[in-house]
Amino acid sequence: MPPAPAVLDAPLSAVDAIVQHHRALRIERDADPTATPADGTVQAVAYAAARRLGFVDGDAQCVAQAWARRSARRPFDPADWPDDPADFGFDPPAARFAPCPHRLGLYAVLPDAAWVARMARAGVPTLQLRFKHPDPERITHEVRAAVAAVRSTPARLFINDHWRDAIAAGAYGVHLGQEDLDTLTTDDLARLRDSGLRLGLSTHGYAEMARAWRVGPSYLALGAVFPTTLKVMPTAPQGPQRLAHYARLARDVPTVAIGGIGLAELPAIAASEVGSFAVVRAITGADEPEAAAATLMRTWARLQTGAQEQRAGEGL
């Protein structure tokens, strides 16, 4: 029989302490400043604190359960935000997709095969074709053209959404959103896994990370980090502070930061220790896309080298 959950002597003070220690994680839009714990358990206290910090209900529940698991192993500490896979119940998936490099480098999300060919020639290491069209034949043609465009280059090409066409064309991998997972059957996932393609999944917080983790993806996309107008996002921008926590939690798989990222945002992205970063308009909206890509890659390499030297100096 499992032990009874620990009960804190001053639950409201514990809520205040968590919020104070982790105020950098607060998202004002979603915050419930009046959230109070239903009882004195660590789980109830952490849930109330997470809601005050602006974590949406599903994410707040994940945080609360994680804090309860963590506190079962060590004394409760309001400064000790859970960041271990065991805290969140991230057990090894029953099956995994084919692996990809832990650091994917610059990841360019591009609108058509012509852009894919252009950025592959420019030396961008990871590319995604995000081609939207109502005609299935046009989609098939574009996927095939994009796969052909990278064939003589070292670029890794992911296809957004169109996984059947990606399998048929022999792409490196596919990228799917949470809504795409809703449409996949168990047989679809098995077919995709058995094809040998890598799978990247979008996530927008702890609950979606937990769902994606169970699928055994090749990488997790974490975002949106900053505001973006490219699509309607289901959640508020998560910010670089939350990104750092997500990246630490998912450190056993490759991670990609996405959403509103350009050259100016790279220092904050690199500081989070996320493995890679994705851009859209920083390349497709640039006056000289090849030069923009080169600057992004050069800056990222410099920031990564600096971060590695700092960690080495700290003995990490």
Chain-centroid distance, C-alpha 105: 14
* Residue 84, in any domain of the structure: no
Q: Are residues 192 and 248 in the same domain?
A: yes
Closest CA to 184 of 207, 201, 203, 209: 201
Q: Are residues 61 and 170 in the same domain?
A: no
Last residue of a domain, one of 24, 53, 73: 73
Domains held by the chain: number = 2
* Residue 114, in any domain of the structure: yes
This prediction's pTM: 0.95
The predicted structure's pLDDT at residue 1? 47
* Dihedral of the alpha carbons of 296, 299, 300, 302, in degrees to the nearest 10: 160
* Residue 81, in any domain of the structure: no
Q: 130-176: per-residue pLDDT in tens?
A: 999 999 999 999 999 999 999 999 999 999 999 999 999 999 999 99
Q: Are residues 67 and 180 in the same domain?
A: no
Chain-centroid distance, C-alpha 82: 17
Q: Are residues 286 and 141 in the same domain?
A: yes
Percent of the chain scoring above 70 in pLDDT: 96
Q: Are residues 202 and 121 in the same domain?
A: yes
Please state which of the ranges 1-5, 199-203, 246-250 shows the lowest mean pLDDT: 1-5
* Residue 273, in any domain of the structure: yes
Q: How far apart are CA 276 and CA 285, in angstroms?
A: 20
> CATH number, domain at 167?
3.20.20.70
Parent domain of 23: 11-73
Q: Are residues 244 and 126 in the same domain?
A: yes
Q: Are residues 172 and 35 in the same domain?
A: no
Q: Are residues 62 and 175 in the same domain?
A: no
The predicted structure's pLDDT at residue 246? 98
* Residue 222, in any domain of the structure: yes
* Residue 83, in any domain of the structure: no
Q: Are residues 29 and 135 in the same domain?
A: no
* Residue 86, in any domain of the structure: no
